[in-house]
Structure 1
Amino acid sequence: MLKQFLNLKLSQKLSPQQIQLMKLIQMPTQAFEQRLLEEMNENPALEGGNEEEIYEKDEFDNNDQYDEYEDNDSIDSGDINIDEYLSNDETPDYKTQSSNYSDDDEDRESPLAAPVSFHQDLVNQLNTFILTDEQRDIAEFLVGSIDDMGYIRRSVQDIVDDMAFTQGIYTDEKTVEKVLCIVQEMEPSGVGARDLQECLLLQLKHKTPTESVALAIAIIEEQFESFTKKHYEKLLAKFLVSKEQLRKAIEEIEKLNPKPGGAYTGSSKITEHVVPDFAIRIVDDELELTLNGRNAPELHVSKDYQDMMMSYKASKDKSAAQKDAVQFIKQKLDSAKWFIDAIKQRQETLFVTMNAIMHFQQEYFLDGDESKLKPMILKDIADMIGLDISTISRVANSKYVDTPYGTKLIKDFFSEAMTNDQGEEVSTIEIKNILERLIAEEDKNKPYPDDQLADLLKEKGYPIARRTVAKYRELLDIPVARMRKKI
């Protein structure tokens, strides 16, 4: 049975401006610069430079003026040709640029690199093989099935079916297997493998035959699981070799590339450089914080757009045909003013937050000793400066600071607290560093298990449980003791 009833409730929603401001705060310097360029391209009323801002909020937001523009009947024909103003603002840059070179000058454009892609290089290598038309078609299909890491992640039967349905190539598994062997002869060695075991075998078979290589091939072919689990005693018993012989064979395997295509594709990628958002310097034994100037651009509202608004107000003859143009100008002016205010608020939020972090961790920033990093959580900084925890998180997660000890990710300064045997609160960062050092100095023939690592940490004054050691070890991306073992 359907019933109608009234239900009153209070709800809180973020305005679009608030959402945009949060996104601006979260952006690192490079992303912020890109966002700034996009806004300037979309809003012709927003300009860069040091020109004093003329458009003031009180000037156009008062009732006497904006109410007139919002009145449908009060906007009529004016003296201003809006098309003329808009066309001037939207003139492409190339129309205002001139060339300072004559026709007979040398071409001064820098050539652009056009690297060959990984898959195109494989296709080019096919030209070095003598193939029939059918084999060529199959080989190109196989190359197209290779992923960026150099593997074919599909079964031969699936490939046969796909070629029949999508390419009209009708063949059998035996023929595809034969062509696949040809593809696996190409460089980089190991390409075209269907799993890690096959990839390693392909690379080993391309090596110069030696006793160590032969043993390595036998290990991968016959005892791959024992090798991956580092059951060295089983390998010694199986192949009846000495520890030295087994060690040399394992060294041959460790030299192999488990991702043969990754090295190729990685070399063509553009290297991304970290741009610090802040800089901390020590001046006369005092910390000095600066915000990267690229986060504080000089912006102002276009004078032309302000003049257009003033001209419309002063115009006696107004027409309804100009209403849309006036509303467009007003919208762009409001948007430009809001964006400038949002950038200023972003700058203030970033600086205040980092300044609080700097003073909270003052001892560390003065001498760089990580053992002096205090336990610090987001709430600590939020309480200091009166901002929301989510705002602190947005600043910390994506920003870097240039310190006398290197460029650091701000979120790395945050850590939980733990009490040592003397009752003092210490940062978990300090414990992780000690744990990492213990593992680095251990005997790799007999690496420490987690319970032994917990005992060693207790001896150093950090009473933590074995499961906590396992948690920190995983956070440091360190494998278990068995996987750290070397022969």
Structure 2
Amino acid sequence: MLKQHLQFKLSQKLSPQQIQLMKLIQLPTQAFEQRIKQEIEENPALEGGKETAESDFDDDLDNSKDDFDDNDTIDAEDINVDDYLSDDEIPDYRTQSNNYSSDDEDKNVPYASGTSFTQHLLNQLNTYRLSEEEHDIAEFLVGSVDESGYIRRTLSDIMDDLAFTQNVFTTEDKIGSVLKTVQQLDPAGVGARNLKECLSIQLHRKEKTPDTELAIKIIDEAFDQFTKKHYQKLLQKFDITELQLRDAINEIEHLNPKPGGSYAGNNRIVEHVVPDFAIKIVDGVLDLTLNGRNAPELHVSREYSNMLKGYKEAKDKSKSQKDAVVFIKQKLDAAKWFIEAIKQRQQTLFVTMSAIMDYQKEYFLTGDERNLKPMILKDIADEINMDVSTVSRVANSKYVDTPYGTKLIKEFFSESMKNDQGEDVSTREIKKILETVIEEEDKKKPLTDETLAGILKDKGYPIARRTVAKYREQLDIPVARLRKKI
């Protein structure tokens, strides 16, 4: 049974302008510049650079805005566009020029069209004598190589795909034979199906020495014991000394576990981080500046403003001219809003970073991560009376240039824990101490998580063993057994 009823409720929704402002705040400097460029291209009423006679222009624009408020109605009889579009009578060929000066500058930066990793392998493949079937299989295998240089598929899967997609019917033995050819390509180790095979291929390519021959035996015959660092078992299995084992392991450690990553080619685009803020220490006082590229000079087009003003004063009117006025007013309003949004963005970024800098003053003065105070988004949001989401947008995508390097702002945020004196300390501080303790440990007898927890407790940080394990994993440090060296 269908029923109809009325319901009143309050709801809060963001206006399109507020949503756009949030998006602007989230953009880092480089993306922000692209956004400005896009807006200037799409809105002819917005212009870059500094406008002369700003006071007179702003007065005219404000008067025009008063005359054309959203609630005002515009009669077609009040508008005449002919006086302002008279340039249309000039033929196109009079406004075009085919002259190009050597001083003309192309602002677009072209990308280098380099050779891809796959094409690099295919070019090498053409130097081998292969039958038509073998060449098709080899090309398919090369196409299956991932960016790390591995073929992570079984031969049976490759055989099925060759039959269904390439109409090549072959056997696993044939594919395995061609795979050995692919594995002869450079860089060494490419085409391997797992880490063991990758290291073995590289070792077999090296000059034969007692160290490399022992390393080959370790990888081919005792890979599991090697990865688990069961050195005593390796010493017994191959009847060798610790010195011989150390030299062989040194050979293995100099191999590349990801051969595909070693191919640089000439088409790799290097991405540069542009700091959005800069913090300097001047006479013992912190000085914060916002990257000047975040404060572009923009102004509303005088030509469009004069058009809007002229339409009102014209005597002859038409319906089409009313549409022109509506269009121009929309563009002018959008341009003024965009300029205002940029100013709000600047203010929001500066206020937020200032609060973070003041909160972490001790760290920025010393550069010691152990001086980082516990700080969450809500701490800064409460300080500047803004929403947590706004602080998050600033922190997640912005960088700050400090005397100790360029840092991602979100790295300054961390949770708190209690020390043995009941004081709140940053988890970053505990991680830094944990990292230092592990760096200074005896690698022949690395410290277990239980021992590390005891050391931290002695230093005044009573945390559980499982918490030590969590922090160690976050620092990308392996367990004690895998840190062992001979």
Residues 299-345 of structure 1: CA deviation (Å, up to 9, x unaligned) = 00111111111121111212112333322222211111111011000
Shift of 1:356: 1.3
The equivalent of 1:40 in structure 2 is: 40
The separation in 2 between residues aligned to 1:94 and 1:74, in whole angstroms, is 35
**Aligned residues: percent identity?**
64
Distance in 2 (alpha carbons) for counterparts of 1:461 and 1:232: 36
Q: CA deviation at 1:196?
A: 1.6
Q: Tell me whether 1:9 sits opposite 2:9 in the alignment.
A: yes
Q: How far apart are 1:76 and its partner, in Å?
A: 5.4
SS for the counterpart of 2:279 is: strand
Determine if contact 2:117/2:265 at 8 Å carries over to the other structure: no
Which position in structure 2 is the counterpart of 1:30? 30
In the TM superposition, what is the alpha-carbon distance from 1:121 to its structure 2 partner? 1.2
Residue 105 of structure 1 is matched in structure 2 by none
Letter in 1 for 2:382: D
Match of 1:65 in 2: 68
**Shift, 1:387, TM fit:** 0.9
* Other-structure match for 2:101: 99
Q: Distance in 1 between matches of 2:446 and 2:469?
A: 14
Superposed CA offset, 1:368-413 (max 9, x none): 3333322222222111111111111111121111222222222222
Q: Runs of 5+ in structure 2 lacking a partner?
A: none
- Counterpart of 2:50 in structure 1 is 50
Over 3 Å counting, the alpha-carbon distance change for 1:319 and 1:445 in structure 2 is same
Q: 1:72 to 1:175 in 2, by over 3 A?
A: farther
User: Structure 1: how far apart are the matches of 2:75 and 2:151?
Assistant: 66
Q: Secondary structure at the match of 2:176?
A: helix
Instruction: Give a deviation string over 1:401-440, Cα, whole Å, max 9, x none.
Output: 1222222222222222233223333222221111100000
Q: What is the Cα deviation at residue 268 of structure 1?
A: 4.3
Distance 1:282 1:206 in 2: 54
Would the alpha carbon gap of residues 445 and 34 (structure 1) be closer, same or farther in structure 2, given more than 3 Å must change? same
CA distance in 2, matches of 1:110, 1:55: 36
2:19, 2:446 → 1: CA distance? Answer: 51
CA distance in 2, matches of 1:119, 1:440: 40
Supply the AA of the counterpart residue of 1:51: E
Q: For each residue in 1:32-69, what CA deviation from the matched residue of structure 2 results, as whole angstroms up to 9, or x when unmatched?
A: 1111111111112111111155356743443x423587
What's the CA shift for 1:293? Answer: 0.4
- In the aligned structure 2, how far is the partner of 1:111 from the partner of 1:359? 43
8 Å CA contact 1:79–1:311 kept in 2: the answer is no
Alignment of 1:82-481 (within 5 A): 82=85, 84=87, 98-100=100-102, 113-265=112-264, 268-481=267-480
Normalised by the length of structure 2, the TM-score is 0.90
SS at match of 2:454: helix
Shift of 1:112: 7.4
Cα separation, 1, equivalents of 2:87 and 2:183: 65
Q: Give the CA deviation at 1:294.
A: 0.4
**Residue 69 of structure 2: SS of its match in structure 1?**
helix
Residue pair 2:399, 2:409 contacting (<8 A) in 1 also: yes
2:18 is matched with which residue?
18
TM-score by length of 1: 0.90
CA–CA distance in structure 2, aligned partners of residues 111 and 283 of structure 1: 41
Change (3 A) 1:96 1:314: farther
CA distance in 2, matches of 1:334, 1:96: 36
Question: RMSD in angstroms over aligned alpha carbons?
Answer: 3.0
Give SS of 1:128's match: coil
Q: CA deviation digits over 1:253-299, x for unaligned, max 9?
A: 21111111112148742222221111122223222211110000000
Distance in 2, matches of 1:306 and 1:3, equals 53
Unaligned 5+ residue runs, structure 1? 103-108
Instruction: Please state whether the residue corresponding to 1:288 is helix, strand or coil.
Output: strand
In 2, the alpha carbon distance for the partners of 1:96 and 1:49 equals 27
Hey, what's the Cα distance between the residues in 1 that align with 2:64 and 2:405?
48
The equivalent of 2:485 in structure 1 is 486
The answer to whether the 8 A contact 1:447-1:485 is kept is yes
CA separation in 2, counterparts of 1:305 and 1:97?
29
Residues 453 and 469 in structure 1, CA contact (< 8 A), matched pair in contact too = yes
* More deviation, 16-25/322-331: 322-331
Q: Distance in 1 between matches of 2:392 and 2:288?
A: 20
SS at match of 2:273: coil
Closer, same or farther: CA 98–200 of 1 in aligned 2, 3 Å: same
Q: Cα distance 1:305–1:203, how it changes in 2: closer, same or farther (>3 A)?
A: same
Change in CA separation of 1:81 and 1:155 when aligned onto 2, cut-off 3 Å: farther
Q: Tell me if the contact between 2:64 and 2:305 (Cα under 8 Å) persists in the aligned partners.
A: no
Please say if residues 378 and 388 of structure 2, whose CA atoms lie closer than 8 Å, have aligned partners that are also in contact: yes
**In 2 relative to 1, CA 268–100 (structure 1 residues): closer, same or farther, beyond 3 Å?**
closer
Return the offset for 1:231: 2.4
Tell me the CA shift for residue 70 of structure 1: 4.6
- Secondary structure of the equivalent of 1:20? helix
Once the two structures are superposed, residues 8-38 of structure 1 have per-residue CA deviations (whole angstroms, 9 ceiling, x without a partner) of 3322222222111111111111111111111
SS at match of 1:408: strand
Contact 2:363 2:369 in 1 (8 A): yes
Contact 2:449 / 2:465 at 8 angstroms: preserved in 1?
yes
Query: Displacement of 1:205 after TM fit?
Result: 1.3
Aligned to 1:106: none
Letter in 2 for 1:481: A
Q: Distance in 1 between matches of 2:399 and 2:279?
A: 11
User: Which amino acid counterpart does residue 40 of structure 1 have in structure 2?
Assistant: I
| Greater alpha carbon shift after TM alignment, 213-222 vs 39-48 | 213-222
Mean Cα displacement is larger for which, 149-158 or 52-61? Answer: 52-61
- Deviates further, 21-30 or 127-136: 127-136
Give a deviation string over 1:114-141, Cα, whole Å, max 9, x none.
Answer: 4322111111111221122222222222
For 2:82, the equivalent position in structure 1 comes to 79
> Which amino acid in structure 1 is aligned with residue 456 of structure 2?
L
Following the alignment from structure 1 to structure 2, what is the Cα–Cα distance between the partners of residues 178 and 454? 53
